[in-house]
Structures are given as C-alpha cells and as structure tokens.
Chain A
Amino acid sequence: MIQIEYILIVSAVMMFAGIFGFFTRRSTLAILLSIELMLNATDLNFAVINRLMHTGGHEGYFFTLFSIAISAAESAVAIAIMINIYRQLKDTTADKLSKLKW
C-alpha cells in the first residue's frame, strides 16, 4: 500500500510548481495553466485525504468533483477575456497588460 505522505508530497510539489509558474510566467495563458496545476493539486489532496485518512464519508470526493467543474467554468471565462484582449492588442503577454497602473 502506498503511504499517504508520498501522494501528499506530489500534490505539494504540484501546488508550489503552480505558484512558481504563476509568478514567473510571462504569457497569461501559461499563468492560467499554472493555476490549473494548483487546482489539480488541491483536487488530488482532497481525494487522497478522503481515501487514506478519513475513510468515513465521501466529502473529499464530492469536493473534488465540484472543484473540477468550477475550475473548468473559471477557465472558460478567463480564456474568453484573453480572447477579448487578444482582439484589441494582438498579444496576451502579461507585460503588455500595463495600461492600468499605480
């Protein structure tokens, strides 16, 4: 049987890879991908904790399901906004989103 620590370490690495990507990536789409990585890490966390730590109920699984659905909706809205920006700027690099500042 796989120990819970191994899977939690994987999810923690995914989470921090996502955070690192969020802060260092230049393309807004890559930033979006990093966020998806973070959300997937949390989904993994919930499923694993439910499967190996608190086996009584199914709360973790349900949370995972809802969280996947909601993050899909969020990505859809985010990509729609990126498309709108691309139409006006012909570019979606984060550096170019600099009209509003200070």
Chain B
Amino acid sequence: MTNYTEFLYMHEELGLLAVILLLFVCDLLFCKDSKRGGVYNTALPVILLGILTAFNLLPLSNLPFEALGGMYHHTPMDTIVKSTLNIGTLVTFLMAHKWLARPENLVKQGEFYIVTLFTLLGMYFMISSGHFLMFFIGLELASIPMVALVSFDKYRYESAEAGAKYILLALFSSALLLYGVSLIYAATGSLYFNQIWPDASSSWLLLCGLSLFLAGMGFKISLVPFHLWTADTYEGAPTVVTGYLSVVSKGSAAFVLLVVLAKAFTFGGVKLDWQVALFWVIIASITLANLFAIRQSNLKRFMAYSAISQAGYLVLGIMGGTEPAADGSAQGMTALVFYLLVYLAANMGAFAVINVVEQNSGKLAIKDYNGLYGTNPKLAFLMTLCLFSLAGIPPFAGFFSKFFIFMAAFNAGFKVLVFIALVNTIISLYYYLLIVKAMYISKSDTPVATFKSDGYTRAALAICTAGVLLLGIAGWVYNYLDSIAKVSL
C-alpha cells in the first residue's frame, strides 16, 4: 500500500498547480476572443496567487521532511524562498497589466499567466529537490516555458532573436549539466544528494562532474564566463519578462546552487575545489559586468549587466557558508536569502518603472530618461530609491543586504574576495548614479511626457518601495531568517 498522505507535505506545489488549473479553466471560459478579454485581466491571477502566497507565507513547522522516497526534500527555508518567488511573480503580474492589455496581447493573456506559473512550479520543485532527477526536471520546467515567455512578443523580431539565443544556450548548458551529473553518478553510484558523499572523496571523475555541473548552473545564474546570452536576451525580451528573468529565475537558481552544494558537496576536499572555482567566477562576474555596464546606452542591457554583477554578490553568499558556523548561526544562507529578498524589491521596482515608461512612451534608452524628474517626479524618485538600494547606499535595504553578504564571506575567511567586491560596489555606484544624473540633472528637449500610471503598476511600485524602505529598518526579518536557516542546513 502506498501512503498517499505524503503528498500533503507537498501542499505548496499542489496549491500552485490548483491555481494553474483554475486559470486554465478561466482562460477557456472568459477569454474567448480579444473583444471579451476584459473579463479576465490581471485581477483574477493576482488574487489567486495572492491567496496562495498568504497561505504558504511562513513555514508551519521547523522540521525538514521528505516525500516520494527522499526525492522531495523540503526544509523550512524552502518555504521562505518560495514565498519570496511568489511575491516576485505577483509583482510581475501587476506590472504586466498594461502590456497585456494591448490588442495583440489580449488574446494570449491567459497563456502569459499560465506559462509564468509553470516556470514558478519548476522552481518550486528545483528548490525542494533531494535527488538529481527531481532537480533536473524542475530546472527544465523552469527554463523551457521561460523561453516561450522571452519570445512572447510574436511580431517583434528582437523578441524571437532573444528567445533563440536563450534556448540554444539553455539547451547547451543543460547538456553540460547532465553530462556532469552522469559523471557524478558514475563516481558515487547514487543520485540522491545526501548519499553522494561516500568513499570517492577526491576522484577525478567526481571533479569533472562537479565542474560541468557548476558550468551548467553558471549559465542559469548568468555568471561570467557563462553570461554571454544575458544581455541579448534581457534586451530582446518583453520588459516584464526581463524583470521576472532577472529576479525570480536567477534568484531561485542561486538558492538551489547553495542547497545542492550544501547537501551534496561538502565532504573532504571537494568543498575546497568548488570554493576555488567560485572564487574566480565571482571576481570575474562582479568586475567584468561592472565594466560592461558603464558603456551601455540601452537601459535594459544596462540592467542585464547590473544583474550579472548582482548575481556575483548572490554567489558570494554561497561562499559565506554552506554549513552552520561554530556558534550555530547560518550566516551564508541567511545572507543569501535576505539579499534575494532585497534584490527582488529593488530590481523589480526598477523594472516596474522601466516598463511603465516603455508602455507609455516607448522609450528605453538611458538618454531618453533625461529630464524625467521634470515631467514624472514620482517615478523618477522611486527609480532613484531602487537604484540606490541596488548600489548599496546606507539608509536603504540594499546596504544591509550587501553588508550581511560581505560579513558572512569575511567570517568564512575570504578576505581578498570581500575586498574586491567592496571596490566593485564603488564602481557600481558610479554607473547607477549615471541614471540618476540623467533623470535629475540632464536637460532634454523631448523628455518623456507626463502620464498617469495605472492602478496595478502603482500597486507593484508600492510593494517594491515598501520592500526597499522597510527591509533595511526591520531587523527582525534578518533574525527570523537566521533562526529558520539554522534548522534548514
């Protein structure tokens, strides 16, 4: 007899699946053609996803549990990360309203919600996996529909080109990753994360497998030298999707990398090996992305390079510790999740502004933002808040999240790495301020005309602004995350 009650442990995934199926039915009933599409527009998906987020916001118990014979391994921290991703998706839906209300998109609005939620489901499975098969299925479920989202604007050539570049490199990276997993399987004889460690502690086979695995994950998180798809895909994709891609997709992949490295590769010399690899990857990501960001003229490309360098900081959190420290705190994981939360608020906020400006005026270049303060002062101010938070200027949450990441890495003994990251923070301040200068100081003959943003976008901006302002002040968030991280590692 099979015990079906263990499926109830997976209530987060099942809840999301129920939301997807409900939206399927609603799409069928209410969205027959573009004329009647108004019935089913943003409100329903947002409400359903909001209910789901509210129900699963915090972990119910402090114990990890397993289902499906250990293939599904859930820790309390997974719930927190899933909630974070939920909020990110919610903000994406809110800011997508105006874009989806266009005539060419109104017919396929249902597809947008469903496909987005399927990528979210894939991330759920990926986060809670305890086995490489579950991990791989989750990863692919998260990345195949993402390609469809990237090339969602069917009649715009850039969107298709971005999709082509994304899927070719995503396929290439998953082939590398799979080859790595097969070598790991050969070296250890098991694909369960917690059974990988026996005898073969330093075999070459395992090392080859691990490096191919890291290369595959590097593509997903878009770390240098695996970042070449990022800028093109970010520029070509619809702005809403770019926001989703840069926060939700990337954040989940970074957390999964931490989880897999912590669960499967902490024994013996292997830990030192991947730490050396990540050391150089982080330095390259942060530095090169910063240098490339300075010379960009398209705002979405600029945000792409900014996102690569932010990914470097996220991975710095992985270096900060995959094991509980001597005093029992789990700084690395806590810092990474807190960074993810703050990064979500700041980056989503920036993308919400970029999106609303694009939808209302069609402008995307940095010089188009000249004089934005004169015509749309509130938007310019919110954008400034988000950019300051991304750069890490003290009163905002970004400063604290960067500080915790640096502290965790410093305590783990990577002093040189922290120093290089600090220098790069200053460089990044320069190019974030370029945008602020364009908005406040530079004059323009044809500034973006004054417009009123719709209610959904305002809600998205309110959520992001609240995150940027409050997360830095509310110290209990970090303490709460730390208490969860302790029982999750």
Contact = CB atoms under 8 A, between A and B. Distances in A.
Tell me if chain B binds chain A. Answer: yes
21 contacts: A28-B168, A31-B168, A38-B175, A38-B176, A41-B179, A46-B182, A49-B185, A53-B186, A60-B182, A62-B133, A70-B144, A71-B171, A77-B167, A78-B164, A78-B167, A81-B164, A82-B164, A85-B160, A88-B157, A88-B160, A100-B162
A74 B147 CA distance: 9
Interface in B323-365: none
Nearest to B179: A42
Contacts, number: 119
A84 B185 contact: no
Nearest to B171: A35
A45 B179 contact: yes
Contacts of A28: 164, 168
B171 A99 contact: no
A13 interface: no
Interface in A15-37: 15, 18, 22, 28, 31-32, 35
A85 B155 CA distance: 10
A54 B175 contact: no
Interface in B152-202: 154, 157-158, 160-165, 167-168, 170-172, 174-176, 178-179, 181-183, 185-186, 189-191
Interface residues of A, number: 41
B161 A74 contact: no
Given A46-B185, A59-B185, A77-B144, A97 B165 contact: yes
A49 B182 contact: yes
A99 B185 contact: no
B262 to A, nearest CB: 22
Interface residues of B, number: 40
Given A54-B185, A99-B158, A100-B236, A77 B147 contact: yes
B78 interface: no
B131 to A, nearest CB: 8
Interface centre among B132, B137, B185, B232 (most CB of A within 10 A): B185
A74 B144 contact: yes
Nearest to B143: A74
A61 to B, nearest CB: 11
A67 B232 contact: no
A74 B231 CA distance: 22
Interface centre among A41, A42, A71 (most CB of B within 10 A): A42
Interface of A: 15, 18, 22, 28, 31-32, 35, 38-39, 41-42, 45-46, 49-50, 53-54, 56, 59-60, 62-63, 66-67, 70-71, 73-74, 77-78, 81-82, 84-85, 88-89, 97, 99-102
Contact of B161 (A42, A56, A85): A85
Contacts of A46: 182, 185
Interface centre among A60, A63, A85 (most CB of B within 10 A): A63
B148 interface: yes
A75 to B, nearest CB: 8
A82 B151 CA distance: 11
Contacts of A42: 175, 178-179, 181-182
B172 A85 contact: no
B235 interface: yes
Contact of B157 (A60, A77, A89): A89
Given A35-B172, A45-B186, A70-B144, 18 more contacts: A22-B168, A28-B168, A35-B168, A38-B175, A38-B179, A41-B179, A42-B179, A46-B182, A56-B189, A63-B132, A73-B140, A77-B144, A77-B147, A78-B164, A78-B168, A85-B160, A100-B158, A101-B232
Contacts of A100: 158, 161-162, 165, 231-232, 235-236
A80 B190 CA distance: 36
Contacts of A35: 168, 171-172, 175
Contacts of B186: 45, 49, 53-54
A60 B175 contact: no
B150 to A, nearest CB: 9
Given A59-B133, A59-B190, A77-B144, A18 B160 contact: no
Given A42-B182, A66-B137, A101-B232, A74 B167 contact: yes
B140 A81 contact: no
B159 to A, nearest CB: 9
A13 to B, nearest CB: 13
Nearest to B170: A74
B179 A15 contact: yes
Contacts of B154: 84
A39 B132 CA distance: 16
Given A56-B189, A59-B133, A70-B136, A45 B167 contact: no
